[in-house]
Amino acid sequence: MKTKIIIISVCSLVSFSLFAQQRTDEDAIRAIADNILKQPVTQFVGVDDGKIYNSTKEIPKGTEVKFNSPLSEWHYSNGVLDMAMVALGEYLNEPKYVSYAKNHVAFGFNNYAYFKNTFKNDRKHWHWPFGQLWNMKELDDCGAMGAAVIEVYQLDKKKEYFNYIQNAANHIMNEQTRLADGTLCRTFPREMTVWADDAYMGTSFLTQMGKMTGDNKYFDEAAKQLINIDKYLWCLEKQLYYHCYYTDLKRNGVAFWGRANGWITVSLADLIDAMPENHPKRTELISLLEKQIVGYSRYQNANGMWNQLLDKPDSYDESSVTAMFVYGVAKAVNNGWIDKSYASIAKSGWNILKNQEITPDGRFTNVCVGTGISNDLPFYYNRPVGDNEKHGLGLIIDTAVEMMKLNKK
């Protein structure tokens, strides 16, 4: 009996491997996107009764509800996903993927007031559905989701979207906490801390704002943030970025966390792509991106993946950072910013993502859950991976679009 079970397991693995290798790039990413469309992105569910509500108008007074899916949230990862679905829909000429983003943003604006008006002082805003939509205190609240609203606004020009965009722009440009040199920083869990993650949380919005308005002040600000991030976080010895910098201690954190480095890659690639070719900081940004690509390529594993902790081979292979690094290389090669010989880095990473980390039913595997900063490496080593974790879905879609372009060349 044990022998039969082993044989069946081996056959299953072989069948999946053969299926994956026969699958095209488009087949693989459609599997991801179509699986996303199956999830209830515009529903609430009763905490106690489990009843489904399609809008706040259906919720009885006093009934506690939550989102029926993490994909409904107003979280930065949802902003990444919304923008990725728009990009995929436009690349494949597939309106259903674009509609996903439009529906998600509309769901937020149609329902957030209910929770804002019933807000209680004994509960923080992030414990309420859409709490980040009406509350702008940190970049996580309005950066990437604000960028997604800009994308959707250009497809559906609603006044409430425009007003939100203006409020988010004012917050990021004028109100968000900064160091003395203007670098965006966090007020928690430690005061005045610079995070690599915020390379994306801030510049994703600024990049989209620059594209929409044509105003160089947004590109200028985004470029300044990424150049400053490099100054605070780059480790010359490791050729990697630290996760954070403590201004009060005047030192970096302990970890070269994968996804934190990935946020810098994606931020640089998206900003360079969006800004005018004659922008005075563009050449410097391309140099930063190439420097990072050369640095992290030295840590790519034999199978094509990168680790959760980039310089720690005993940490697990992690899919979201692999997708981000592949995206950065592919986009840079596709646009001619770096030599085409770098493409092999991207192809090695993409092959294992497509053939091993995207399941036949469209789940993206081995993605680290949301992660804060910590002073001990075991914290990073032991972060769990989620099944179809929301932090990776937008990233793998964006990566697939760039790889489809690259492989068509």
Q: At 134, phi and psi to the nearest 5?
A: -95, -10
Among residues 358, 357, 350, 386, which one has the least CA distance to residue 371?
A: 386
CA 290 to chain CA centroid, Å, is 21
Among residues 72, 379, 384, which one has the least CA distance to residue 243?
A: 379
**Distance, CA of 338 to CA of 344 (rounded, Å):** 13
Q: Is the pLDDT of residue 376 over 80?
A: yes
At residue 5, the pLDDT reads 46
**Is 256 within 8 Å of 238 (Cβ atoms)?**
yes
DSSP-derived 3-state class of residue 339: coil
**pLDDT tens, position by position, 228-244:** 999 999 999 999 999 99
Q: At 241, phi and psi to the nearest 5?
A: -100, 135
Which whole number is the average pLDDT over 197-221? Answer: 97
At residue 125, the pLDDT reads 74
Cβ count near 16 (within 10 Å): 14
Kindly write down the DSSP assignment for every residue of 355-391, as one continuous string: IIIB-TTS-B-SEE------SSHHHHHTPPEETT-HH
The region, left, alpha or beta by phi > 0 then psi within -120 to 50, assigned to residue 151 is alpha
Whole domain around residue 264: which residue ranges? 2-38+177-408
User: Is residue 356 a part of any domain in this protein?
Assistant: yes
**E strands along 3-43, which residues?**
none
Among residues 307, 187, 207, which one has the least CA distance to residue 257?
A: 307
Which whole number is the average pLDDT over 178-204? Answer: 94
Q: Is the pLDDT of residue 2 over 50?
A: no
| Residue of higher predicted confidence among 17 and 269 | 269
**Is 389 within 8 Å of 368 (Cβ atoms)?**
yes
Tokens of 185: 């920083």
Tokens of 111: 């329902």
**Which residues make Cβ contacts (< 8 Å) with residue 4, sequence separation at least 6?**
none
Among residues 257, 388, 390, 402, which one has the least CA distance to residue 328?
A: 402
At residue 128, the pLDDT reads 85
**pLDDT tens, position by position, 34-53:** 999 999 999 999 999 999 99
At residue 188, the pLDDT reads 82
Which whole number is the average pLDDT over 83-94? Answer: 98
At residue 409, the pLDDT reads 82
Among residues 214, 255, 262, which one has the least CA distance to residue 238?
A: 255
Query: Residue 224 belongs to a domain with what CATH number?
Result: 1.50.10.10
User: Is residue 369 a part of any domain in this protein?
Assistant: yes
User: Is residue 172 a part of any domain in this protein?
Assistant: no
User: Is residue 50 a part of any domain in this protein?
Assistant: no
Beta bridge partners of 245: 194, 252
**Is 305 within 8 Å of 352 (Cβ atoms)?**
yes
Tokens of 195: 């995070």
Q: Is 237 exposed, middle or buried (0-12, 13-18, 19+ CB in 10 A)?
A: exposed
User: Is residue 300 a part of any domain in this protein?
Assistant: yes
The reply to whether omega before 276 is within 30° of 0 (cis) is: no
Going by the DSSP 8-state scheme, the letter that residue 22 receives in this structure is H
Residue 50 to residues 65, 69, 107, 267, Cα–Cα distance (Å) = 9, 13, 20, 40
**Count of structural domains, the chain:** 1
Q: Is the pLDDT of residue 137 over 90?
A: no
User: Is residue 393 a part of any domain in this protein?
Assistant: yes
At residue 21, the pLDDT reads 62
User: Is residue 78 a part of any domain in this protein?
Assistant: no
* Crossing angle of helices 139-153 and 76-92, rounded to 10°: 20
Q: How does strand 52-53 pair with strand 317-318?
A: unpaired
